[in-house]
Chain A
């Protein structure tokens, strides 16, 4: 019999290979996680329309291509024909001009506060806030080219991945299920079916909610624009809609982006900021009262502490885009866990 130690080099080699494969998988996942998740959002969003076209005899891939083309044409037409107050404007700002404008704005704000409330004279709000805002601006403008590059790459990659997800997703799922041993085959098939239905319902609901929030924000800011200066309505509304994916802090982040833009890049007075805040508040109230109850049939509640932890992890791993996808990914993982537990409970109940 060969001694056990003779296997040691083979084991070390095997372990090294395994670690290498794991590291490679992690890196690939880290690079591709955002486009993969975004593509699955797109695939789930388009699925009901793809099914409707499939009923009319169209192939899934062609149906998705057609819908994507229609959506792109609709977006381009909208951008071309939108009224002047809604058009995207070029943003001419850099780290220095941003810091200067912020300093001026906060200096005026501090002056006005110290005149009305003399006890706050020793606080020196402007210098403190300006230092932080300056650091943030430097960091933001440094990372901006990389963010734009990554966004552009994802913009091209996402429809490509989504196309294959829509076209081959079901076949792939069948192939995976076919590999499951007979004993667990039915259980796996049913579980995947329920998970797919739940996640599909949840993601579609959230994406439609975000779109409606963006539209509400556009209308509210449009009304505010009649009274105060409100530039970049479309950009701010789209950001508010996207950040709405994040519970609790999402609307604040959207409004925060708008405030920084108004004060730092445009140097607008406080009345514009108040108009933006009022519009965001109105959009948030309409979302909570009317949009969310109507759209979210498969609501997945996450504990506030879970939300905070998930956001920290998402932000640390993948930055701003990580923050956006963290909650839907966590909610989907919760649905998977719930389904596995429900299946286990059903099995236990039936065996009793």
Chain B
């Protein structure tokens, strides 16, 4: 056997170890990719349905989605419908583009209360990305439902954005004021004054996540503004 403390042995050992580990991880990753992708898609469908208050399980999501979501399309920041695959559009990539190049997905869902327009939103929390889906009534102003999720916000604090307690108060809020100006939603602490029709309560201990969520909504509604205004008329 070679000298275990020699340079040659050490280098060889490290090289073999790295190649082996890389090979194992790469093959596991490739083998599991299709299943993982399917899980992401199911989760996305569940989130879209949750924003129009339809509860699903991982098993039923695909079937209900096919029934309820009647139209998926992309719009640009001028509010025109453009070509493309709305469901698989990566919002992170779109957000990085110049405003006139962005392609923004819209999902139309058939519910018992008529057609709802579901808009995906994406922004930054404290530790990483946060995202969600906002369902609007056909006045393109009143929120019908909202759902949010996050990658790694602190449990019990910022992570509370994914709980019903935080999401429920969004229902019935409006994003434009009476003069038609875009206000979006203000995520406010107790005592902070804001018009009640645009205000939801922030999370105590989750200030940065709350602020990130407020900014996300404002930025994304701004991108959709032309579409919303056009559709309203």
Q: Do A and B come from one complex?
A: no
User: B residues touching A (Cβ–Cβ < 8 Å)?
Assistant: none
User: A residues touching B (Cβ–Cβ < 8 Å)?
Assistant: none
